[in-house]
Structure 1
Amino acid sequence: MPSPFFAFAASLPSPSFLPPHHRRSLRTIKTLVESTAGSRPTSALPPPIESLHRGNWVKLICGASFEDAVDVRNLSLVYTLAGVDCIDCAADASVVNAVNEGIDAAMSIAAVQRPWVMISVNDDKEDLHFRKAEFDPGDCPLDCARPCEVVCPANAISLERVTVGNELAGNANASGKLQVGVITERCYGCGRCFSICPYDKIRAITYVRDPSTTSKLLKRNDVDAIEIHTSGRCTDLFNELWNRLGDSIDHVKLVAVSMPDVGESTVAVMKMIYSIMESHLQCYNLWQLDGRPMSGDIGGGATREAIAFAVHLASTLDKPCGFYQLAGGTNSHTINHLKKVGLFQTTAISGHSSDISGAAQSTGFKEALIGGIAYGGYARKIVGRVLRKMPTQHGHPKIEDHPDHFLEALQEALTLVGPVKCYSMPFVLPKQMTSV
């Protein structure tokens, strides 16, 4: 398959018809193209499954509770061009539409591989990914330093002072108050604002995605996969949700189960979950090893729990069937940590032989112990800071209408996706290549 960046550059208008800053952007794109060597391998397998076998699967996590359709659309566009295999989003029709709109926009620009669209659901209210922050801004003191605004990684809290009464006229009864509070569609439940509020005003609202709504989404032709988040402490709720989803599972290409490492019982719980699914599982299955949820944007150390989980499962001889993928605290440091423990695109860990899972048996391939990495908070952060720069005075901005920002966002995405995909290209362009 041709390089996605070559197709991207070839589809752009001739430089003579572009203003100078657009031509500069085109030169930068060409630099990306020229720095990309080779093409993706091909086989009889669906491309995302081939990636899992090779250990270079990359999933973008938009967020199980993140419902800002504009950002979701732009994130999906940028990361599709960067070459992700899957885009995971909230189980909400408007969000699914936004993901597919972003993918379609990317494919109209370049002949890239279409990533699978995955929706995330939960089997109980304990999962941290399915909650929102909430507070009444009218209860906040006017002199509050507003640390919640500062700490929120999603820019989901906005506090604006408004005047009550004729304060400017010197009315003794006039006063001010704060309004707006949490921007619900942007909050993805990281929880960092809860403990930092000096007045303990912020609370968590938890919820469970409705199985009937989920079933309808799965029957659409633009949803390819489902991910079920479970606590790993009890399989009864998972069993109940699985049964309620019924034959809608037959419409997907991949079923993923996300769970934390719960210690010695982890493998036993995973096997119990697989036994629940097995009789009705007509597609591939994936285990998301959730290390430290929603923390990848905090720092390099956040990835350690996911790496430890990977080592735990990879060194287990009698592993549950399916592919394995890291999540929870993943960021730009994850690849190096995987390499240090010998788990980057390898089929065996030192001192152990790799079992061949059901997926491998059915295809005749022996897959990598760790199929790939899912990036959430960190992926959104590095592209999101570019999205925040775009002007918004003309309605909802589309990133492709702002070529300089588009290039910057694509470069950020490549620095994250490229090392997993083993693209042969520089990810930081020299300054002279991005200047007139």
Structure 2
Amino acid sequence: MSQTPDAAATAPRPARKLSRRRLWLFRLVTLLALAAGQEALFRVVFPTPEIVGFNRVHYQQIAQSHPQIGRAMERGLVYDRLLIESRPDGFSEVQSLNAYGFRGPDFRADPDPARRRILVIGDSVVEGQGASDGTTITAAWSRMLASEGTPAEVINLGAIAASLPHLWSITRDAVPLLRPSDVVISIYPNDLPAPFTPTLWNEPARKFERAQVDYRPKIVDLIERAIIEKPIHRRWFHPAIRFFSPVPDGTNPWSDGRPKPPSLRADLYEDMKAGRLNPWLHAQSRDVPGQLGHDFSTGGSPILFLERMRDVCRASGARMMVAYTPFCGVVGPRYAPALVDVGMDPDTAEALATDPKYRGQNRVMADVCRQLGLPLADATADLEAADSSAPQYWAYDTHPNPDGYATIARRIHETWKASLAQPPEP
């Protein structure tokens, strides 16, 4: 029986086979697409920092006796995550670090000419210990500038455990390298009295190279680095590193086996040993009253450090200002009970907020900045006023809480804006 014309038109046609040439072309295009996708993925996941050797690990106190110190110094902290906990305060924060080990977004070596570049240099207060990534001083200030329509890039160059000599080294190296328009040097009470370090002041700035453009497939670079044991940096998939290691780690001061001091509350002692609370707080309770009450007529002024920092900034065409954050016990009496719990003498803890001798740092900072022609953002009065309504610090950790960081950022912002209206010093 013959098919009708309509039936013949709808009958399935045999599939056309690809020619051998087209089949191999399809395979080649597929392989190239997979290779390009893999290359793009590997370059995103395993980046190479643009500036070779610039890393926060060189600007903080670290365990120099650690068996892996050499490798750690070469690799640095790159996209790592730091876990900082304070069990009695109820916080546990994971801090995300960028390509250079500092907190905050990545930044390029060269500034964007359409935006002000502001470096904020300091210790754990600038890094934002106890704060989420969005509630640090630099994050809060960035939002203030954006809300006012000021194009600006605020770079966080804070490093936990950085002392005044470390702040000088960061300033000496980072300002010529990153070419900011503005620099803020943040001082905390444990930076004073300042040491006398003429050898350090005369050290030249570190030299940094730009990473060479590598046109080889990224997997070749990764294999080569693995073979010769060179650092491999990855952007994600980092387990959080506990910043305060538990006993018996050598970085924990209680690993020496000493018994609990009578003045330290028992549960806090156990927290310090376990890394659930800053293990150096007991030592801080002994040291801070002397730092706050230091007689600067006997020495210890930060003027030589700040003068050199100012000169480095001027040589790079950057404006410099200074910020000062007071110790929690000076701001108000609410922190005295916790200070006693970690080992401070009760009478001293009560006197911090009332005795004028514990304001000596404020006076010397005002005098030094006046002599050097530097704006000073002293947040003491702002924190006192705000603390009367809500705590501005964690009770036991002694760092500002997110509200306190916001208060400090506002003081810095207001002082910075006022300084722009003033002509630069000759």
TM-score (norm 1): 0.29
Look at both structures and tell me which one has the larger radius of gyration over its CA atoms: 2
TM-score (norm 2): 0.30
